[in-house]
Amino acid sequence: MAYLKPDKPEKVFVPALREAKEKGEKLVCLTAYDYPTARIVDEAGVDMILVGDSMGNVIHGYGNTIPVTLEEMLSATKAVKRGASRALIIADMPYGSFHTGDNKAVRNALRLMKDGGAEAVKLEGGRNRVNLVKRLVDEEIPVMAHVGLTPQSVHKLGGYRVQAKTADAAKILIEDAQMLEEAGAFAIVLELVPREVAEIVTNELSISTIGIGAGSACDVQVLVLHDLIGFTFGRQPRFVRQYANVSEVITNAITQWMEDVRSGDYPNESESYGMPKGEHLSEPKKAVTS
C-alpha cells in the first residue's frame, strides 16, 4: 500500500540532531519569545527554536539575562509552542532556577516542559553542572548544555568576552564538554570561543555542537533573531550578520501613518464604515432648555 507524503516537513525531535551530525548536515536554530515570531521562524523552516533568556536583553530591556524569571520563561514558551509545529522547542532555564538544589531544578524543568510545552531545556555551566544534567536526563528531561561565554555568569566573567583563549582554558572547556556529553546532554552550545577550540570540541563529541560566535565548524548555528533582522539597539557582536533592518521598516511605516493621519488621508472612505444603503441620519433634535 502506498502512503502519501505529508505536505508539512517532518517534526524535529532530539534524535534528529545526532542523525544530522552523522550525515554531516548543518542545522539551524533561532530564538523566539512570542506566538507570531515563532510562527514565522517555524514556517521558514528553522530546525530548532530556542526560547532564550536573551529575552531579558531584547524584549524586556534588561542589561543582562539575570533578572529573567521562570514565570517569564513559562509565558514565552507557551506562546512559542502555540506558534510552532515543526521545530524542536528548547527553553532556557533562567538564572536562579537551577542553583538551589537538584530537586528544585527538576521541578522547574518539569514546569517548562509540562506547563510550557518545551521539548528540552538548556542550562549554563561546565563540570559544575554534570551531576544536575545526569539527574535531569534520568528524569526524562532532554538537556542542552552551554559552555564558553555563559551570560548568566557575566559578573563573574567580567563582561561578554571571548572564552578559552589560552591553551589551559581551552583544555578545561574541552574536558567540560566531554563530561557534559557523558552526563547525557544531547547537544552543547559553544558561545564566544575561538573557532579552533570549537572545531576540536565538534570533532571530539558524538553530540551536536551549537555555535554562536564560535566559527563554522559547529554542527548547528544559533543566533538571536532580533540581531539577525536588525531589531535591536546598540553595537552588535562581530559574529552577527544583519540580514534585514526591521527597525527601519517599522519606523518608516509609523512615520508614514502619522503623516497620513495629520493630513487627513487616513482613514479614507474605503477604510471607513458607512451607513447601509437607504439609511439616513436625521438632524438630531435640539435640546429644549427652559
| Catalytic positions | 191
Residue 221 region by backbone torsions, left for phi larger than 0, else alpha for psi between -120 and 50, else beta: beta
C-alpha–C-alpha distance, residues 237 and 52, integer Å: 17
Is there a contact between 210 and 188 (Cβ–Cβ < 8 Å)? Answer: yes
Between CA 243 and CA 189, with CA 192 as vertex, the angle to 5 degrees is: 90
In degrees rounded to 5, what are phi and psi of residue 28?
-130, 150
Residue 187 is classified by DSSP as: E
State yes or no: cis peptide before 67, omega within 30 of 0.
no
Q: What burial class does residue 179 get, using C-beta atoms within 10 Å of its C-beta: 0-12 exposed, 13-18 middle, 19+ buried?
A: middle
C-alpha–C-alpha distance, residues 157 and 96, integer Å: 17
C-alpha–C-alpha distance, residues 2 and 118, integer Å: 34
Name the nearest CA neighbour of 144 among 168, 117, 167, 124. Answer: 124
